[in-house]
Amino acid sequence: MNKADLHNVLRNKGLKITPQRIIVFDAVVNLGNHPSTDKIIEHIKNNHPNISVATVYKILETFVEHGILKRVKTGKDVMRYDYELEKHHHLYAKDSDRIEDYYDADLNQLLEKYFEQKKIENFKIEEMKLQIIGKFIENK
């Protein structure tokens, strides 16, 4: 999502377009690899020292509430943020704390069909995401 897209999304969600919101979103995108709140704050403080930590937290929470960002929890119970809203799953390496997006339409279809047939009593599925835990193997 580029800045123009973000402006449209903010407008469509009824949110004001503020420099602080743009800066927080840019930090999430530019840091990549699903940054933690601490990394986002550190990045912003280095580039925009006048933005308060409370403002960053509030903006992140607002973005999550309005579906602009999603939270991703790591195996170390650290909350990180994802700006990619297209349906996907995550590959997570505990040893390096690295998260990568994993897109697989066949897997999505398999999960949807399974739970359509399985029907969990008194529960409505709104979203399904897998976090696949393993190790990234570097090609040598």
pLDDT at 140: 65
Region for residue 82 given its phi and psi (left: phi exceeds 0; alpha: psi -120 to 50; beta: otherwise) = beta
pLDDT at 25: 93
Distance CA 61, CA 63 (A): 5
pLDDT at 5: 82
- The low-confidence residues of the chain, meaning pLDDT below 50, are none
Question: What's the whole-model pTM score?
Answer: 0.81
Q: Three-class SS of residue 36?
A: strand
* Angle between helices 53-65 and 37-47 in degrees, nearest 10: 130
pLDDT at 39: 95
